[in-house]
Structure 1
Amino acid sequence: MRTLVLLAAAAGLMASPAFAQDGTLKKIKETGVFNVSFRESSIPFSYLDDNQKPIGFAKDICDKVVEAVKAELKLPNLEVKYTPVTSATRIPLLANGTIDIECGSTTNNVDRQQQVSFTNTHFLTASAFVSKKSANLTKIDDLKGKTIVSTSGTTNIQQVNNVNTERKLGMNILAAKDHAEAFLMVETGRAVAFVMDDILLASLVASSKAPADYQLSAEAFSMPEPYGIMVRKGDAEFKALVDKTTAALYKSPEGEALYNKWFTSPVPPKGLNFNVPMSAAQKKAFANPSDSADPKSYQ
């Protein structure tokens, strides 16, 4: 089934210019459906709660976009369809029209901007690794010759492959289908470390069976990187609406309140608190909304 989904999604890339030309708003108005995506395990950005309903920081931001689309199209009863995506399927499914907006934890970078567009940055992160404390791994060089894992289709797995080649570390790099599977591989000893965005690693540790058993690396694979919500490339009208909506949210007191709801307060379903206060860079990103992929622009 996963293979069929990937093949269908890849084939759909051929149709993406048509969607961009017609426009997402026109598509939504004609079909009466707004297709919103979510991730199943990207806590606290986008994930499933105990009732298998999507929730999270990015999901709440997209809810604001949903309301803006309803108002723009004068469709108060617009149907909203939620579709799960993975790191591997999110861009193809957006390009072929299966989803209209991607609400998750996707890094905005120059390579991806060739395929999709991003709205204003909603979070800044850096690529690190998590391991068991008993393994005593804190620096990248500590991973030399070891088996590590990252999530398929992410910038993180590209970064770790580049570092592996540049430093001649001889790591055995495995690709997991999602974050939950990758963390499980460390938990069960199939890999010694999981390379991913630091905030996602912190959330996985906090929600694990034994949080005290794990530690995040002291060394990062990257500079701080921006997360953005993806929309189809070439659709200026829809992007403008999403940009306007997110900018207004981030610059208002509601933006900081929403951040605190998910990063400095207990979150469902287990009431975990990640205790990640808003950084100076994050405050700057909210005060001056931008879709820039350049990490230096957020310093």
Structure 2
Amino acid sequence: MRLRSLLPVLLAGLAAAPASAQDLTGTMKKIKETGQITLGYRDSSVPFSYLDGSQKPVGYAMDICSKVVEAVKADMKLDKLEVRLNPVTSATRIPLIANGTVDLECGSTTNNADRQKQVAFTNTHFLTASRFVAKKASNVSKFEDLKGKVVVSTSGTTNIKQINEYNAEKKLGITILPAKDHAEAFLMVETGRAVAFVMDDVLLASLAAGSKDPNAYLISSDAISKPEPYGIMLRKDDAPFKKVVDAATAAFYRSPEGKAAYDRWFTKAIPPRDINLNLPMSEALQKAFSTPSDSPDPAMY
């Protein structure tokens, strides 16, 4: 009788015990067995993931990944969780996620349908779109202001195609010049050979911030493309891990802390050169933060 009365208590205790490695699968099992989680970082993807003056990986995406690590540690009830850092490039980031070397890729990777065939993404942390950079003295701030003016974009990009299509559709009479690369295109605006340079907004912000007089430039308030989402990558078909990562990023983006992290990296001076990208959060990203999504479809944003 005494053993019978103890049985429910023993079963309840077992149910409440932390899951063993045998009960887990995928990345959660790997983390439990090794006591480690590996973050992939970029060395020059400013301000998402890059090396600071002491060669330490820092950035907006690194901050997000740190929040995910905290959530994983809490969810698995671990006393400690070692964070390992592994460099990745555009060419290696997907293979290193897929083969298990890296658990989270903390960078500026576009979430699209093709990539989702190989890897998974958590909730969107940035939206880029085609805008233009111009000198404030030019008195242009929207695409309609470019009517009859000279505009440059980089040859071979989707951006130059978009501005040509926009120009034809709106009948604005814009003269569109091709540049061999981004540096030449920005120089044309800097020297007055073009009024504006059309490109991805975050790249424009970086070029303006690194110029001789960053305060002389502005980035257009409107865009001529749908937003393209960036997300933290993780392995495909790993539902238990993705559930924890999605919950962590959603909570972070909805909180004041998420907005503060964005402002820290996009609207304030950042190391090591103390440049300021002057790129306030767009309305589309504000919406994405309030209703987090891992959708690769630009139309969702």
Length-normalised TM-score, structure 1: 0.70
**How many angstroms apart in 1 are the aligned matches of 2:199 and 2:29?**
37
2:266 alignment counterpart: 263
Structure 1, unpaired ranges of 5+: 1-20, 133-137, 150-156, 175-181, 188-193
1:87 alignment counterpart: 90
In structure 2, the CA distance between the partners of 1:92 and 1:209, relative to structure 1 (3 Å rule), is farther
Structure 2, unpaired ranges of 5+: 1-23, 136-145, 166-175, 188-196
**How many angstroms apart in 1 are the aligned matches of 2:30 and 2:270?**
35
2:95 paired with 1:97: no
2:46 alignment counterpart: 43
Q: Secondary structure at the match of 1:34?
A: strand
Cα-Cα RMSD: 4.0
Post-superposition Cα deviations, 1:142-172, rounded to whole Å, max 9, x if no partner, equal: 669xx848xxxxxxx6x46987xx9xx9x89
**How many angstroms apart in 1 are the aligned matches of 2:86 and 2:296?**
26
Corresponding letter in the other structure for 2:72: V
In structure 2, the CA distance between the partners of 1:263 and 1:115, relative to structure 1 (3 Å rule), is same
In structure 2, the CA distance between the partners of 1:281 and 1:143, relative to structure 1 (3 Å rule), is closer
2:191 alignment counterpart: none
1:274 alignment counterpart: 277
1:248 alignment counterpart: 251
Q: How does 1:113-262 map to 2 (within 5 A)?
A: 113-127=116-130, 148=155, 159=158, 197-208=200-211, 211=214, 222-262=225-265
CA shift, 1:124, in A, is 1.1
**How many angstroms apart in 1 are the aligned matches of 2:118 and 2:133?**
30
**How many angstroms apart in 2 are the aligned matches of 1:101 and 1:257?**
22
Rg comparison, structure with higher value: 2
Contact 2:186 2:207 (C-alpha < 8 Å) held by counterparts = no
2:33 to 27, 30, 37: 30
Corresponding letter in the other structure for 2:107: G
2:112 to 99, 109, 113: 109
2:72 to 69, 87, 102: 69
**How many angstroms apart in 1 are the aligned matches of 2:211 and 2:43?**
16
CA shift, 1:186, in A, is 7.8
2:290 alignment counterpart: 287
**How many angstroms apart in 1 are the aligned matches of 2:203 and 2:281?**
15
2:62 to 59, 64, 69: 59
2:3 alignment counterpart: none
Post-superposition Cα deviations, 1:213-269, rounded to whole Å, max 9, x if no partner, equal: 999799977421111111111101111100000011111111111111112222122
Post-superposition Cα deviations, 1:76-124, rounded to whole Å, max 9, x if no partner, equal: 3322111111112111111111111111111111111111111111111
**How many angstroms apart in 2 are the aligned matches of 1:185 and 1:52?**
30
Corresponding letter in the other structure for 1:28: I
Contact 2:126 2:229 (C-alpha < 8 Å) held by counterparts = yes
In structure 2, the CA distance between the partners of 1:261 and 1:201, relative to structure 1 (3 Å rule), is same
Q: Secondary structure at the match of 1:249?
A: helix
Aligned residue pairs, count:
257
In structure 2, the CA distance between the partners of 1:184 and 1:84, relative to structure 1 (3 Å rule), is farther
Identity of counterpart residues, as a percentage? 60
**How many angstroms apart in 1 are the aligned matches of 2:247 and 2:67?**
11
